Amino acid sequence: MSDIQRILILLIVIAAIVTSGCTQPVPPPQQAGGKGPNPPPEETRAALQQVLDAGIHTTGIPGAVVEVAAPKWTWNSAAGNASPITGEKAQPGMRFLIASTSKTFTSVAIQKLAEEKKLSLDDPIDRWLPADLVQKIPNARIITVRQLLDHTSGIADYNEISIILREYQNPDIPATYKDAMWQGINESPLYLPGTNYTYSNVNYILLTLIIDNASGVPYEDYVTRNIFVPVGMNDTFIMETNHIPGPHMTATQRGENDTFVDFSNLYVQFDRGAGDIVSTTADLNRFHRALREGKLISKSSFAAMEKPTPQSREQGYGLGYMTTFNAAANLTLQGHGGGYPGSFTLWDYLPEQDTYVTLNLNSADMSTENLKTVRTAFLMYLKNGTSP
């Protein structure tokens, strides 16, 4: 097994735990995007920075960017290196691959189409997918749109290791969403729809095809026009090339002999609707607040999104949105994580504090404990060290 294969296998495991058309013009990154325009008190700011710096130092993670948006203040900061290869410093406002956090955007697009009466969450998927595709999907006539959203369809996932390894070895040849989609479909069904839960990116690839059909425009256009633009997410776009423009966190992972492998310049077209968005901490907090405050979809639609399906059990998975409990900090968390080789996004809302936290780490050094260390330190400080 090669060094790259070994890294990918471990990273996909970590990513699974983290998650337990047209491209917008790309302007310079903007700064803090929380509701409270004011910075935190100096004592709080210094303490938060110390938590971040200590987390990076303790875990050996090269770098991080973070925004905490509390009711009365917003803190946007960074620590370490954006690239451990070049030594470029991490800076607030840098872009990064958000990976599976993209699924919440796809779910919101589906909710909007349902509110517009262009589809129903209880429609069978054969109503919206091409006939030749329907013929190849087991149980397509009884799987519903809702079951794609909550991962109870019984459709298998693609082999992410094989796809990323192929792209890494051939960086100019993108794997398409059809490549990934057919991998999962060919391994299906895992069970009868609605009887179990299996997290599968292929569910969300199929949802983009439903968005294409129901909206009459490509998924990329629909999400841009109906989510990115209204929320003011000027640094957010769907990645359709193999390069993140402008200042960004590299997706790097430690290899052998203290070297680093860079996964930043790969196409993510294979993850259409499941993990293909680039954003910033400020933009993701803007989106999260707009979503929770009913500015994108109705509060009843969001309530359905955040209600976990019983089949997901401790994963707390609803319709592209998760509710979990961090025992170490004794806090409920709501949101959706995202893991891509060398880039891990933690996107949380803390109901007890009415606070939004978006954190991106550019390497987990192949350890879920490192992710937990940095995240939990922030959560514990926000709960016990300050009263937003």
What is the predicted pLDDT for the residue at 134?
Answer: 97
Domain containing 260 equals: 3-384
For the record, the structure tokens of 295 come out as 């500015």
Contact 294, 300 (CB under 8 A): no
Q: Is the pLDDT of residue 35 over 80?
A: no
> Which residue do the tokens 């946007």 mark?
76
What is the predicted pLDDT for the residue at 257?
Answer: 76
Contact 195, 311 (CB under 8 A): yes
| CATH number, position 281 | 3.40.710.10
- For CA atoms 139, 142, 146, 151, give the dihedral sign: negative
Average confidence score pLDDT of the chain? 90
What is the predicted pLDDT for the residue at 369?
Answer: 82
What is the predicted pLDDT for the residue at 253?
Answer: 85
What is the predicted pLDDT for the residue at 16?
Answer: 57
- Quote the number of domains for the chain: 1
pLDDT tens, residue by residue, 61-109: 999 999 999 999 999 999 999 999 999 999 999 999 999 999 999 999 9
What is the predicted pLDDT for the residue at 31?
Answer: 41
**What pTM value is reported for the model?**
0.92
User: Which DSSP string corresponds to 119-143?
Assistant: --TTSBGGGTS-HHHHTTSTTTTT-
For the record, the structure tokens of 360 come out as 């991106």
> Which residue do the tokens 């006939």 mark?
131
User: Which DSSP string corresponds to 53-120?
Assistant: HHHHHHH---EEEEEEE-SS-EEEEEEEBS-TTT-PBP-TT-BEE-GGGHHHHHHHHHHHHHHTTS--
What is the predicted pLDDT for the residue at 256?
Answer: 76
